[in-house]
Structure 1
Amino acid sequence: MLANTTRALTEVQREQWAVDGYLQLEGALSPAEVDFFSKQIDRVRTQPGYEPAPSRLPRGHYAWVDHADPNPEAFMDRRDLLNYHQAFIDLIDRPRVFDLILDLMGPYIQFSMSQAIVRASTETFPGYTHTDGGEAQRAIRVTETSRPLAVKVMYLLTDVTEPDSGNFTIFPGSHLRPFPERAERIPNPHMPGAVPLLGKAGDAYVFPHAIWHGPSPNRSGKARKTILYNYCQMFMRPYDFGTPYATLFERCTARQRRLLGDLGHDFRPGDFFYAPEDQVALMTGTA
Protein backbone atom coordinates (compact mmCIF):
# COMPACT_ATOMS: atom_id res chain seq x y z
CA MET A 1 0.00 0.00 0.00
CA LEU A 2 2.85 2.40 0.74
CA ALA A 3 5.57 2.22 -1.85
CA ASN A 4 9.34 2.31 -1.24
CA THR A 5 9.13 1.41 2.44
CA THR A 6 11.73 -0.04 4.78
CA ARG A 7 9.37 -2.90 5.69
CA ALA A 8 9.25 -2.16 9.41
CA LEU A 9 5.46 -2.32 9.26
CA THR A 10 3.72 -5.66 9.20
CA GLU A 11 1.09 -6.27 6.55
CA VAL A 12 -1.59 -6.07 9.25
CA GLN A 13 -0.27 -2.67 10.33
CA ARG A 14 -0.16 -1.45 6.73
CA GLU A 15 -3.78 -2.38 6.25
CA GLN A 16 -4.87 -0.83 9.54
CA TRP A 17 -3.04 2.40 8.71
CA ALA A 18 -4.61 2.62 5.25
CA VAL A 19 -8.13 1.69 6.34
CA ASP A 20 -8.49 2.86 9.95
CA GLY A 21 -5.83 5.57 9.93
CA TYR A 22 -3.95 4.73 13.12
CA LEU A 23 -1.75 2.13 14.85
CA GLN A 24 -1.54 1.00 18.46
CA LEU A 25 1.85 -0.25 19.66
CA GLU A 26 1.84 -2.33 22.83
CA GLY A 27 4.77 -1.90 25.20
CA ALA A 28 6.50 0.89 23.29
CA LEU A 29 7.96 2.02 26.64
CA SER A 30 9.11 -0.34 29.37
CA PRO A 31 7.62 -0.08 32.89
CA ALA A 32 10.85 1.55 34.10
CA GLU A 33 10.65 4.12 31.30
CA VAL A 34 7.00 4.82 32.07
CA ASP A 35 7.91 5.53 35.69
CA PHE A 36 10.87 7.69 34.65
CA PHE A 37 8.94 9.83 32.16
CA SER A 38 5.98 10.17 34.51
CA LYS A 39 8.29 11.59 37.18
CA GLN A 40 9.89 13.86 34.58
CA ILE A 41 6.46 15.27 33.65
CA ASP A 42 5.79 15.97 37.34
CA ARG A 43 9.11 17.83 37.49
CA VAL A 44 8.56 19.71 34.22
CA ARG A 45 5.32 21.26 35.47
CA THR A 46 7.20 23.06 38.25
CA GLN A 47 9.59 24.73 35.77
CA PRO A 48 9.13 27.54 33.20
CA GLY A 49 7.93 26.62 29.74
CA TYR A 50 5.30 27.04 27.05
CA GLU A 51 1.65 26.60 28.06
CA PRO A 52 -1.69 27.61 26.51
CA ALA A 53 -2.74 31.18 27.26
CA PRO A 54 -6.43 31.31 26.27
CA SER A 55 -6.96 34.70 27.91
CA ARG A 56 -4.06 36.27 25.99
CA LEU A 57 -3.46 34.33 22.78
CA PRO A 58 -5.62 32.69 20.10
CA ARG A 59 -6.34 28.96 20.20
CA GLY A 60 -3.34 26.85 19.25
CA HIS A 61 -0.77 29.40 20.45
CA TYR A 62 1.39 29.02 23.56
CA ALA A 63 2.97 31.56 25.92
CA TRP A 64 5.96 31.35 28.25
CA VAL A 65 4.83 30.74 31.84
CA ASP A 66 6.71 30.40 35.12
CA HIS A 67 5.13 27.04 35.98
CA ALA A 68 1.91 25.05 35.80
CA ASP A 69 -0.20 23.91 38.73
CA PRO A 70 2.27 21.90 40.90
CA ASN A 71 -0.41 19.29 41.68
CA PRO A 72 0.63 16.24 39.58
CA GLU A 73 -3.05 15.32 39.15
CA ALA A 74 -4.00 18.75 37.72
CA PHE A 75 -4.34 19.61 34.04
CA MET A 76 -1.14 20.48 32.16
CA ASP A 77 -0.31 21.10 28.50
CA ARG A 78 3.44 21.74 28.10
CA ARG A 79 5.23 22.17 24.77
CA ASP A 80 8.88 21.88 23.78
CA LEU A 81 10.12 19.18 26.16
CA LEU A 82 13.55 18.57 24.67
CA ASN A 83 15.45 20.99 26.90
CA TYR A 84 14.25 19.41 30.12
CA HIS A 85 16.18 16.13 29.95
CA GLN A 86 18.40 14.19 27.56
CA ALA A 87 15.84 11.38 27.58
CA PHE A 88 13.35 13.61 25.78
CA ILE A 89 15.92 14.16 23.01
CA ASP A 90 16.68 10.46 22.73
CA LEU A 91 12.97 9.68 22.43
CA ILE A 92 12.94 11.52 19.08
CA ASP A 93 14.34 8.55 17.15
CA ARG A 94 13.58 5.71 19.51
CA PRO A 95 14.22 2.36 17.79
CA ARG A 96 11.14 0.37 16.77
CA VAL A 97 8.89 3.43 16.97
CA PHE A 98 11.02 5.63 14.70
CA ASP A 99 11.45 2.71 12.29
CA LEU A 100 7.68 2.73 11.81
CA ILE A 101 7.66 6.50 11.33
CA LEU A 102 10.27 6.14 8.58
CA ASP A 103 8.30 3.37 6.95
CA LEU A 104 5.12 5.46 6.96
CA MET A 105 6.57 8.86 6.10
CA GLY A 106 9.77 8.15 4.17
CA PRO A 107 13.21 9.59 5.02
CA TYR A 108 12.61 13.25 4.09
CA ILE A 109 11.17 14.23 7.45
CA GLN A 110 11.89 16.42 10.44
CA PHE A 111 10.86 16.59 14.07
CA SER A 112 8.19 19.21 14.67
CA MET A 113 6.80 19.21 18.19
CA SER A 114 7.02 17.66 21.66
CA GLN A 115 4.21 17.93 24.17
CA ALA A 116 3.19 16.59 27.58
CA ILE A 117 -0.51 16.56 28.43
CA VAL A 118 -2.05 15.66 31.77
CA ARG A 119 -5.84 15.25 31.66
CA ALA A 120 -7.22 15.71 35.16
CA SER A 121 -10.12 13.63 36.42
CA THR A 122 -13.13 15.93 36.52
CA GLU A 123 -16.89 15.92 36.00
CA THR A 124 -16.84 19.16 33.99
CA PHE A 125 -14.57 18.41 30.98
CA PRO A 126 -16.72 17.03 28.09
CA GLY A 127 -13.86 16.07 25.78
CA TYR A 128 -13.56 17.25 22.18
CA THR A 129 -12.67 16.14 18.67
CA HIS A 130 -10.37 17.91 16.19
CA THR A 131 -7.71 17.47 13.53
CA ASP A 132 -4.11 18.67 13.86
CA GLY A 133 -2.27 21.47 12.12
CA GLY A 134 -4.77 24.31 12.18
CA GLU A 135 -7.42 25.41 9.74
CA ALA A 136 -5.35 25.16 6.54
CA GLN A 137 -3.90 21.72 7.23
CA ARG A 138 -7.35 20.40 8.16
CA ALA A 139 -8.40 20.94 4.56
CA ILE A 140 -5.51 18.84 3.21
CA ARG A 141 -5.84 15.06 3.19
CA VAL A 142 -3.89 12.39 1.37
CA THR A 143 -4.89 9.09 -0.20
CA GLU A 144 -4.27 5.72 1.39
CA THR A 145 -1.27 5.15 -0.90
CA SER A 146 0.35 8.53 -0.17
CA ARG A 147 2.96 9.49 2.39
CA PRO A 148 1.34 11.39 5.28
CA LEU A 149 2.10 15.07 5.80
CA ALA A 150 2.43 14.87 9.57
CA VAL A 151 2.29 12.00 12.07
CA LYS A 152 2.12 11.98 15.85
CA VAL A 153 3.16 9.36 18.38
CA MET A 154 1.28 9.47 21.70
CA TYR A 155 2.95 7.56 24.55
CA LEU A 156 0.63 6.54 27.40
CA LEU A 157 2.11 7.03 30.87
CA THR A 158 -1.05 5.82 32.63
CA ASP A 159 -3.31 2.82 32.19
CA VAL A 160 -6.46 3.72 30.26
CA THR A 161 -8.47 0.52 30.47
CA GLU A 162 -12.03 1.86 30.76
CA PRO A 163 -14.05 4.37 28.70
CA ASP A 164 -14.34 7.95 29.98
CA SER A 165 -10.82 7.81 31.40
CA GLY A 166 -9.50 10.60 29.19
CA ASN A 167 -9.12 8.03 26.41
CA PHE A 168 -7.59 8.94 23.09
CA THR A 169 -10.76 8.76 21.00
CA ILE A 170 -10.79 8.53 17.20
CA PHE A 171 -13.14 8.10 14.26
CA PRO A 172 -11.53 5.22 12.30
CA GLY A 173 -11.20 6.00 8.60
CA SER A 174 -11.86 9.71 9.08
CA HIS A 175 -8.38 10.63 7.82
CA LEU A 176 -9.80 10.22 4.29
CA ARG A 177 -12.84 12.48 4.58
CA PRO A 178 -13.50 16.17 5.35
CA PHE A 179 -13.91 17.36 8.93
CA PRO A 180 -17.37 18.97 9.39
CA GLU A 181 -17.19 22.76 9.53
CA ARG A 182 -20.73 23.59 10.66
CA ALA A 183 -20.95 24.08 14.44
CA GLU A 184 -23.97 21.82 14.83
CA ARG A 185 -22.11 18.96 13.10
CA ILE A 186 -18.73 19.15 14.89
CA PRO A 187 -17.91 15.61 16.09
CA ASN A 188 -17.49 14.77 19.76
CA PRO A 189 -16.18 11.71 21.65
CA HIS A 190 -19.67 10.28 22.24
CA MET A 191 -21.02 10.53 18.69
CA PRO A 192 -21.68 7.41 16.61
CA GLY A 193 -18.44 6.31 14.99
CA ALA A 194 -16.19 7.49 17.81
CA VAL A 195 -13.97 4.79 19.33
CA PRO A 196 -12.32 5.34 22.75
CA LEU A 197 -9.03 3.44 22.61
CA LEU A 198 -7.99 1.37 25.60
CA GLY A 199 -4.37 0.81 26.50
CA LYS A 200 -1.76 0.21 29.15
CA ALA A 201 0.93 2.57 30.37
CA GLY A 202 3.79 2.20 27.89
CA ASP A 203 1.55 1.68 24.85
CA ALA A 204 1.72 4.19 22.01
CA TYR A 205 -0.70 5.39 19.34
CA VAL A 206 0.53 6.51 15.92
CA PHE A 207 -1.82 8.69 13.86
CA PRO A 208 -1.80 11.30 11.05
CA HIS A 209 -2.84 14.94 11.32
CA ALA A 210 -6.06 14.43 9.38
CA ILE A 211 -7.75 11.79 11.53
CA TRP A 212 -10.60 13.05 13.72
CA HIS A 213 -9.36 12.55 17.28
CA GLY A 214 -9.29 13.98 20.76
CA PRO A 215 -9.66 13.23 24.46
CA SER A 216 -12.81 11.81 25.97
CA PRO A 217 -14.02 12.93 29.42
CA ASN A 218 -11.92 11.69 32.33
CA ARG A 219 -14.08 10.48 35.20
CA SER A 220 -11.67 7.74 36.30
CA GLY A 221 -10.53 9.38 39.53
CA LYS A 222 -6.92 9.68 38.32
CA ALA A 223 -5.08 11.91 35.86
CA ARG A 224 -4.15 10.62 32.40
CA LYS A 225 -0.54 11.45 31.46
CA THR A 226 0.77 11.33 27.90
CA ILE A 227 3.76 12.45 25.84
CA LEU A 228 3.22 13.38 22.18
CA TYR A 229 5.90 13.70 19.48
CA ASN A 230 5.10 15.08 16.04
CA TYR A 231 6.98 14.46 12.77
CA CYS A 232 6.35 16.22 9.46
CA GLN A 233 7.74 16.32 5.95
CA MET A 234 10.85 18.51 5.59
CA PHE A 235 9.13 21.12 3.45
CA MET A 236 6.72 21.97 6.30
CA ARG A 237 7.37 24.36 9.18
CA PRO A 238 8.08 22.79 12.58
CA TYR A 239 5.75 23.74 15.41
CA ASP A 240 8.23 24.23 18.27
CA PHE A 241 11.04 26.10 16.52
CA GLY A 242 11.30 28.53 13.61
CA THR A 243 14.97 27.92 12.74
CA PRO A 244 17.25 24.89 13.27
CA TYR A 245 17.25 24.00 16.96
CA ALA A 246 20.95 24.81 17.32
CA THR A 247 20.96 25.16 21.12
CA LEU A 248 20.44 21.39 21.37
CA PHE A 249 22.90 20.24 18.71
CA GLU A 250 25.77 19.47 21.12
CA ARG A 251 23.47 17.02 22.93
CA CYS A 252 22.23 15.28 19.77
CA THR A 253 23.38 12.50 17.50
CA ALA A 254 23.85 13.31 13.81
CA ARG A 255 20.41 11.94 12.99
CA GLN A 256 18.74 13.89 15.79
CA ARG A 257 20.47 17.07 14.62
CA ARG A 258 19.14 16.52 11.11
CA LEU A 259 15.65 15.97 12.47
CA LEU A 260 15.98 19.29 14.32
CA GLY A 261 16.99 21.19 11.18
CA ASP A 262 20.77 20.81 10.87
CA LEU A 263 21.45 20.35 7.15
CA GLY A 264 25.22 20.63 7.57
CA HIS A 265 25.52 24.09 6.01
CA ASP A 266 24.19 27.62 6.32
CA PHE A 267 20.74 28.22 4.86
CA ARG A 268 20.41 28.58 1.11
CA PRO A 269 17.32 28.73 -1.11
CA GLY A 270 15.93 25.25 -1.67
CA ASP A 271 16.85 23.92 1.76
CA PHE A 272 14.21 21.62 3.28
CA PHE A 273 12.84 20.93 -0.22
CA TYR A 274 15.93 19.27 -1.71
CA ALA A 275 17.60 17.26 1.05
CA PRO A 276 21.34 16.70 1.58
CA GLU A 277 22.78 13.71 -0.27
CA ASP A 278 23.21 11.73 2.93
CA GLN A 279 19.58 12.16 4.03
CA VAL A 280 18.43 8.61 3.38
CA ALA A 281 21.53 7.01 4.87
CA LEU A 282 21.36 9.24 7.96
CA MET A 283 17.69 8.61 8.60
CA THR A 284 17.90 4.85 8.09
CA GLY A 285 21.09 4.50 10.14
CA THR A 286 23.24 3.26 7.28
CA ALA A 287 25.47 6.35 7.12
Structure 2
Amino acid sequence: MSDPEGALSTFQRLGFAVLPSLVPRAEAGNLRDLVERRYQDPATHSAEPEEDFFRGEVSLMRMFEYDRAFRDVIDYTPVADLVEAILGPDCHMISQNALRIPPGRGITKWHIDDELFFPFLDTLTSTAGADSAIPCYSLNVMIALSEIEDEHPGPTQVIARSHLSGRRPAYTPDLPGKPVSLLAQAGDAYLVNSQTWHRGAPNRSGRTRYLLTTAYGRRFVSQRFYPFVNYRMPGDVLAGASGRLTRLLGLHEKGPYG
Protein backbone atom coordinates (compact mmCIF):
# COMPACT_ATOMS: atom_id res chain seq x y z
CA MET A 1 0.00 0.00 0.00
CA SER A 2 2.03 2.92 -1.29
CA ASP A 3 -0.12 5.83 -0.06
CA PRO A 4 -1.98 5.04 3.18
CA GLU A 5 -2.89 8.69 3.79
CA GLY A 6 -4.34 8.93 0.28
CA ALA A 7 -6.31 5.72 0.82
CA LEU A 8 -7.68 7.06 4.11
CA SER A 9 -8.77 10.33 2.49
CA THR A 10 -10.38 8.50 -0.43
CA PHE A 11 -12.19 6.12 1.92
CA GLN A 12 -13.62 8.97 3.97
CA ARG A 13 -14.68 10.92 0.88
CA LEU A 14 -16.03 8.15 -1.37
CA GLY A 15 -16.92 5.39 1.09
CA PHE A 16 -14.38 2.97 -0.41
CA ALA A 17 -10.70 2.80 -1.37
CA VAL A 18 -8.67 0.45 -3.56
CA LEU A 19 -5.43 -1.03 -2.20
CA PRO A 20 -3.46 -2.51 -5.11
CA SER A 21 -1.07 -5.42 -4.53
CA LEU A 22 -1.93 -5.74 -0.84
CA VAL A 23 -1.22 -9.48 -0.80
CA PRO A 24 1.48 -11.12 -2.94
CA ARG A 25 -0.04 -13.04 -5.84
CA ALA A 26 1.42 -16.34 -4.64
CA GLU A 27 -0.16 -15.85 -1.23
CA ALA A 28 -3.48 -14.92 -2.83
CA GLY A 29 -3.27 -18.12 -4.87
CA ASN A 30 -2.65 -20.15 -1.72
CA LEU A 31 -5.67 -18.59 -0.01
CA ARG A 32 -7.79 -19.33 -3.08
CA ASP A 33 -6.70 -22.98 -3.03
CA LEU A 34 -7.56 -23.20 0.67
CA VAL A 35 -11.03 -21.76 0.01
CA GLU A 36 -11.64 -24.38 -2.67
CA ARG A 37 -10.30 -27.15 -0.44
CA ARG A 38 -12.69 -26.16 2.31
CA TYR A 39 -15.57 -25.99 -0.14
CA GLN A 40 -14.77 -29.47 -1.49
CA ASP A 41 -14.45 -30.96 2.02
CA PRO A 42 -17.58 -33.10 2.69
CA ALA A 43 -17.48 -31.96 6.33
CA THR A 44 -18.25 -28.41 5.19
CA HIS A 45 -21.57 -29.48 3.68
CA SER A 46 -22.54 -32.12 6.22
CA ALA A 47 -21.94 -30.05 9.36
CA GLU A 48 -24.75 -29.41 11.80
CA PRO A 49 -26.53 -26.07 11.29
CA GLU A 50 -25.16 -24.64 14.53
CA GLU A 51 -21.64 -24.98 13.14
CA ASP A 52 -22.61 -22.62 10.30
CA PHE A 53 -19.73 -23.41 7.93
CA PHE A 54 -21.52 -22.69 4.65
CA ARG A 55 -24.33 -20.23 4.04
CA GLY A 56 -26.32 -19.10 1.04
CA GLU A 57 -24.52 -21.50 -1.36
CA VAL A 58 -21.64 -19.08 -1.97
CA SER A 59 -20.33 -17.97 1.45
CA LEU A 60 -17.91 -19.94 3.64
CA MET A 61 -18.00 -18.72 7.22
CA ARG A 62 -15.30 -17.99 9.83
CA MET A 63 -12.31 -18.76 7.63
CA PHE A 64 -9.92 -17.93 10.50
CA GLU A 65 -11.02 -21.21 12.10
CA TYR A 66 -10.02 -23.24 9.05
CA ASP A 67 -6.39 -22.29 8.47
CA ARG A 68 -3.90 -19.98 10.13
CA ALA A 69 -3.22 -18.30 6.78
CA PHE A 70 -6.67 -16.67 7.03
CA ARG A 71 -6.19 -15.77 10.69
CA ASP A 72 -2.95 -13.99 9.91
CA VAL A 73 -4.61 -11.85 7.20
CA ILE A 74 -6.62 -10.19 9.99
CA ASP A 75 -3.42 -8.54 11.29
CA TYR A 76 -1.85 -7.90 7.88
CA THR A 77 0.29 -4.91 8.74
CA PRO A 78 -0.41 -2.37 5.98
CA VAL A 79 -4.18 -2.72 6.01
CA ALA A 80 -4.57 -3.31 9.76
CA ASP A 81 -2.83 0.02 10.38
CA LEU A 82 -5.32 1.73 8.05
CA VAL A 83 -8.26 -0.01 9.70
CA GLU A 84 -7.09 1.22 13.10
CA ALA A 85 -6.75 4.76 11.75
CA ILE A 86 -10.41 4.60 10.71
CA LEU A 87 -11.98 2.62 13.57
CA GLY A 88 -9.63 3.36 16.46
CA PRO A 89 -6.89 1.40 18.26
CA ASP A 90 -9.35 -0.86 20.11
CA CYS A 91 -11.26 -2.10 17.05
CA HIS A 92 -11.69 -5.79 16.32
CA MET A 93 -12.55 -8.23 13.56
CA ILE A 94 -16.30 -8.93 13.48
CA SER A 95 -16.41 -11.57 10.73
CA GLN A 96 -14.30 -13.28 8.10
CA ASN A 97 -15.95 -15.07 5.22
CA ALA A 98 -14.86 -16.33 1.81
CA LEU A 99 -17.06 -15.85 -1.23
CA ARG A 100 -16.96 -18.50 -3.92
CA ILE A 101 -19.03 -17.23 -6.86
CA PRO A 102 -19.44 -19.78 -9.68
CA PRO A 103 -20.50 -18.84 -13.22
CA GLY A 104 -24.06 -17.60 -13.35
CA ARG A 105 -24.17 -16.56 -9.70
CA GLY A 106 -23.56 -13.39 -7.74
CA ILE A 107 -24.71 -11.44 -4.71
CA THR A 108 -26.47 -9.08 -7.08
CA LYS A 109 -28.82 -7.18 -4.76
CA TRP A 110 -27.61 -3.73 -3.71
CA HIS A 111 -27.11 -3.64 0.05
CA ILE A 112 -25.23 -2.22 3.00
CA ASP A 113 -23.49 -4.49 5.49
CA ASP A 114 -24.96 -3.29 8.77
CA GLU A 115 -27.76 -1.25 10.26
CA LEU A 116 -28.35 2.18 8.76
CA PHE A 117 -26.37 4.32 11.17
CA PHE A 118 -27.20 7.82 9.89
CA PRO A 119 -30.77 8.01 8.54
CA PHE A 120 -30.86 11.76 9.10
CA LEU A 121 -28.28 12.37 6.35
CA ASP A 122 -30.90 12.32 3.61
CA THR A 123 -32.19 15.65 4.94
CA LEU A 124 -28.79 17.33 4.83
CA THR A 125 -26.81 18.84 2.00
CA SER A 126 -23.51 16.99 1.77
CA THR A 127 -20.47 19.26 2.08
CA ALA A 128 -16.79 18.64 2.65
CA GLY A 129 -17.36 19.59 6.30
CA ALA A 130 -20.21 17.12 6.64
CA ASP A 131 -18.10 14.36 5.09
CA SER A 132 -15.41 14.70 7.71
CA ALA A 133 -17.99 14.71 10.53
CA ILE A 134 -19.43 11.28 9.69
CA PRO A 135 -17.71 8.52 11.66
CA CYS A 136 -17.23 4.99 10.35
CA TYR A 137 -18.33 2.24 12.72
CA SER A 138 -17.60 -0.84 10.61
CA LEU A 139 -16.00 -1.70 7.29
CA ASN A 140 -15.07 -4.59 5.05
CA VAL A 141 -11.63 -5.40 3.68
CA MET A 142 -12.21 -7.43 0.50
CA ILE A 143 -9.22 -9.22 -1.02
CA ALA A 144 -9.52 -10.52 -4.58
CA LEU A 145 -8.21 -14.09 -4.74
CA SER A 146 -8.76 -14.42 -8.49
CA GLU A 147 -8.46 -12.12 -11.48
CA ILE A 148 -11.30 -9.63 -12.01
CA GLU A 149 -9.87 -7.93 -15.08
CA ASP A 150 -13.19 -6.88 -16.64
CA GLU A 151 -16.94 -7.04 -16.07
CA HIS A 152 -17.35 -10.71 -16.98
CA PRO A 153 -16.25 -12.33 -13.65
CA GLY A 154 -18.77 -10.19 -11.76
CA PRO A 155 -16.74 -7.55 -9.92
CA THR A 156 -17.78 -5.91 -6.69
CA GLN A 157 -19.64 -2.71 -7.56
CA VAL A 158 -20.05 0.32 -5.31
CA ILE A 159 -21.86 3.64 -5.39
CA ALA A 160 -19.41 6.40 -4.52
CA ARG A 161 -20.50 8.62 -1.60
CA SER A 162 -23.60 6.52 -0.96
CA HIS A 163 -22.42 6.16 2.65
CA LEU A 164 -23.58 9.79 2.98
CA SER A 165 -27.04 9.17 1.51
CA GLY A 166 -28.78 8.34 4.78
CA ARG A 167 -30.63 5.56 2.98
CA ARG A 168 -30.40 1.84 2.47
CA PRO A 169 -31.03 0.39 -1.01
CA ALA A 170 -34.24 -1.35 0.06
CA TYR A 171 -35.88 2.03 0.61
CA THR A 172 -35.65 3.18 -2.99
CA PRO A 173 -35.17 1.67 -6.46
CA ASP A 174 -33.01 4.64 -7.48
CA LEU A 175 -29.23 4.54 -7.19
CA PRO A 176 -27.67 7.75 -5.82
CA GLY A 177 -24.91 7.61 -8.42
CA LYS A 178 -23.38 5.51 -11.18
CA PRO A 179 -22.03 2.08 -10.18
CA VAL A 180 -18.24 1.78 -10.03
CA SER A 181 -16.83 -1.68 -10.84
CA LEU A 182 -13.80 -2.56 -8.71
CA LEU A 183 -11.60 -4.47 -11.14
CA ALA A 184 -8.66 -6.22 -9.52
CA GLN A 185 -5.74 -8.56 -9.88
CA ALA A 186 -5.38 -11.41 -7.41
CA GLY A 187 -3.98 -9.86 -4.22
CA ASP A 188 -5.56 -6.44 -4.72
CA ALA A 189 -7.94 -5.31 -2.00
CA TYR A 190 -10.56 -2.69 -1.35
CA LEU A 191 -11.96 -1.19 1.81
CA VAL A 192 -15.72 -0.58 1.79
CA ASN A 193 -17.60 1.35 4.47
CA SER A 194 -20.46 -0.76 5.83
CA GLN A 195 -22.83 2.09 4.87
CA THR A 196 -21.67 2.18 1.22
CA TRP A 197 -24.11 0.67 -1.25
CA HIS A 198 -22.48 -2.28 -2.97
CA ARG A 199 -23.14 -5.62 -4.63
CA GLY A 200 -21.42 -8.40 -6.56
CA ALA A 201 -22.27 -8.18 -10.25
CA PRO A 202 -23.37 -11.50 -11.82
CA ASN A 203 -20.50 -13.76 -12.84
CA ARG A 204 -20.81 -14.06 -16.62
CA SER A 205 -17.40 -15.66 -17.13
CA GLY A 206 -16.61 -19.35 -17.36
CA ARG A 207 -14.67 -19.49 -14.09
CA THR A 208 -15.35 -19.15 -10.37
CA ARG A 209 -14.61 -15.83 -8.64
CA TYR A 210 -12.99 -15.94 -5.19
CA LEU A 211 -12.99 -13.18 -2.60
CA LEU A 212 -11.93 -13.07 1.06
CA THR A 213 -13.87 -10.56 3.15
CA THR A 214 -12.75 -9.54 6.63
CA ALA A 215 -15.06 -7.15 8.45
CA TYR A 216 -13.86 -4.93 11.28
CA GLY A 217 -15.83 -2.86 13.77
CA ARG A 218 -15.31 -0.41 16.56
CA ARG A 219 -15.08 -1.86 20.05
CA PHE A 220 -18.82 -1.45 20.70
CA VAL A 221 -19.79 -3.32 17.51
CA SER A 222 -20.37 -6.97 18.42
CA GLN A 223 -18.60 -9.82 16.69
CA ARG A 224 -20.87 -11.84 14.39
CA PHE A 225 -19.96 -15.47 15.06
CA TYR A 226 -22.99 -17.75 15.04
CA PRO A 227 -24.51 -18.79 17.43
CA PHE A 228 -23.37 -15.49 18.98
CA VAL A 229 -23.89 -15.83 22.78
CA ASN A 230 -22.71 -19.43 22.80
CA TYR A 231 -19.84 -19.07 20.35
CA ARG A 232 -16.40 -20.04 21.67
CA MET A 233 -13.32 -19.33 19.57
CA PRO A 234 -11.18 -22.47 19.17
CA GLY A 235 -8.01 -22.41 21.25
CA ASP A 236 -5.77 -23.11 18.25
CA VAL A 237 -6.93 -19.84 16.64
CA LEU A 238 -5.60 -17.88 19.61
CA ALA A 239 -2.43 -19.94 20.04
CA GLY A 240 0.69 -17.99 19.11
CA ALA A 241 -1.22 -14.82 18.21
CA SER A 242 0.59 -11.49 18.65
CA GLY A 243 -0.72 -8.84 21.02
CA ARG A 244 -2.53 -6.88 18.32
CA LEU A 245 -3.89 -9.98 16.62
CA THR A 246 -5.19 -11.24 19.96
CA ARG A 247 -7.12 -8.00 20.40
CA LEU A 248 -8.35 -8.03 16.79
CA LEU A 249 -9.66 -11.54 17.47
CA GLY A 250 -11.71 -10.08 20.33
CA LEU A 251 -9.66 -10.45 23.53
CA HIS A 252 -9.86 -6.91 24.90
CA GLU A 253 -8.66 -5.37 28.11
CA LYS A 254 -11.29 -4.60 30.73
CA GLY A 255 -13.35 -1.56 29.91
CA PRO A 256 -16.18 0.64 31.26
CA TYR A 257 -18.82 -2.10 31.11
CA GLY A 258 -16.78 -5.00 32.42
| Alpha-carbon offset, residue 9 of structure 1 | 2.6
1:37-48 matches, cutoff 5 A: 37-47=31-41, 48=43
| Alpha-carbon offset, residue 50 of structure 1 | 8.8
| Partner of residue 246 from structure 2, selected from 257, 262, 265 | 257
Which string of whole-angstrom CA distances, capped at 9 and with x for unpartnered residues, describes residues 3-49 of structure 1? xxxxx732x32332222111101111111101110110011113445
1:42-191 matches, cutoff 5 A: 42-47=36-41, 48-49=43-44, 64=51, 76-122=58-104, 127-133=108-114, 137-140=115-118, 144-145=131-132, 146-180=134-168, 185=173, 187=175
CA–CA distance in structure 1, aligned partners of residues 161 and 137 of structure 2: 16
CA–CA distance in structure 2, aligned partners of residues 206 and 193 of structure 1: 19
TM, length-normalised to structure 2: 0.81
CA–CA distance in structure 2, aligned partners of residues 66 and 106 of structure 1: 30
Which string of whole-angstrom CA distances, capped at 9 and with x for unpartnered residues, describes residues 112-142 of structure 1? 10000011111x7582210002xxx124379
User: Gaps spanning 5+ residues in structure 1: where?
Assistant: 1-7, 54-61, 69-74, 272-287
CA–CA distance in structure 1, aligned partners of residues 53 and 79 of structure 2: 33
Which string of whole-angstrom CA distances, capped at 9 and with x for unpartnered residues, describes residues 226-283 of structure 1? 0000110111111125467363322422222222222356xx8614xxxxxxxxxxxx
- Which residue of 2 is the match for residue 29 of structure 1? 23
Could you say what secondary structure the match of 1:13 adopts? helix
**Do structure 1's residue 198 and structure 2's residue 183 form an aligned pair?**
yes
CA–CA distance in structure 1, aligned partners of residues 9 and 223 of structure 2: 29
CA–CA distance in structure 1, aligned partners of residues 232 and 246 of structure 2: 9
Alpha carbons of structure 1 residues 66 and 238: separation in structure 2 relative to 1, 3 Å: closer
Which string of whole-angstrom CA distances, capped at 9 and with x for unpartnered residues, describes residues 158-208 of structure 1? 111111421100000101113356666165xxx961111111111001011
Number of matched residues?
240
Q: Confirm or deny: 8 A CA contact 1:249 1:257 kept in the other structure.
A: yes
Alpha carbons of structure 1 residues 151 and 125: separation in structure 2 relative to 1, 3 Å: closer
CA–CA distance in structure 2, aligned partners of residues 88 and 97 of structure 1: 14
CA–CA distance in structure 1, aligned partners of residues 102 and 107 of structure 2: 12
CA–CA distance in structure 2, aligned partners of residues 126 and 238 of structure 1: 22
Alpha carbons of structure 1 residues 215 and 97: separation in structure 2 relative to 1, 3 Å: same
Alpha carbons of structure 1 residues 222 and 202: separation in structure 2 relative to 1, 3 Å: same
Alpha carbons of structure 1 residues 264 and 79: separation in structure 2 relative to 1, 3 Å: same
CA–CA distance in structure 2, aligned partners of residues 258 and 163 of structure 1: 38
Q: Confirm or deny: 8 A CA contact 2:4 2:82 kept in the other structure.
A: yes
CA–CA distance in structure 1, aligned partners of residues 166 and 50 of structure 2: 31
Alpha carbons of structure 1 residues 217 and 203: separation in structure 2 relative to 1, 3 Å: same
Q: Confirm or deny: 8 A CA contact 2:54 2:60 kept in the other structure.
A: no
Letter in 1 for 2:185: K
Q: Identify, as 1 or 2, the structure richer in helix.
A: 2
Letter in 2 for 1:46: Q
Tell me the percent identity: 21
Letter in 2 for 1:120: P
User: Gaps spanning 5+ residues in structure 2: where?
Assistant: 122-129
Alignment RMSD, CA only? 3.1
